[in-house]
Amino acid sequence: MNTLQQTSALEASQKLFVKMVVSNWELQNQRLSGWLAKMPEERLLEPVAEGKNRAVYLLGHLIAVNDGMIPLLGLGERLYPELDALFVKNADRTFEEIPSVADLKTKWAHLNQTLAGYFAQVEPDEWFKKHNAVSEEDFAREPHRNKLNILINRTNHEAYHLGQLIFLKA
């Protein structure tokens, strides 16, 4: 295999791998969005299990964490940085006011639409470059700390919380 063939094979492999990861991300979003569509709003104010987080808190948490990917991946500015104070830096029920379920559902849909648009524009090789929270030196030692790994991590994070949410029955 010559150098041109090797480069072409590498590019094809990267493209396939990125497609698999992004497709899994989209699948988790579809599952969670489908669950949200079936769930009455008042049920989202309940904890997923006794002594656990409320569903509305988990939704806000997922929005805040996923929104953090935008600057981390170098795609632009966050849409909802104000959600960090409620849903990342504090535990559930430690604050007086919370955004409405309707507001969070709207933010969820808008964020996913925005991320899908960004992800469609990222070239496959760009996913294998460093993300913005890792130094050049650390990335040279640990090249797995790339943008695609962030998306894999966030997909797993979302799947974990969806696993908690499904304990609430419509």
Taking each helix axis from N to C terminus, what angle separates 3-38 and 101-121, rounded to the nearest 10 degrees?
170
pLDDT of 68 above 90: yes
At 23, which CATH number?
Answer: 1.20.120.450
Residue 102 lies in a domain: yes
Residue 107 lies in a domain: yes
Residue 6 lies in a domain: no
Tens digit of pLDDT for each residue in 32-58?
999 999 999 999 999 999 999 999 999
pTM of the model: 0.94
What is the extent of the structural domain holding 147?
Answer: 15-165
170 pLDDT tier (thresholds 50, 70, 90): low
Q: Tell me how crowded residue 5 is: count the other CB atoms within 10 A of its CB.
A: 9
Chain center to CA of 144: 18
Nearest to 95 by CA among 104, 86, 103: 86
- Per the model's pLDDT, the better-predicted residue between 85 and 3 turns out to be 85
Residue 1 lies in a domain: no
Q: Could you give the number of structural domains in the chain?
A: 1
Residue 73 lies in a domain: yes
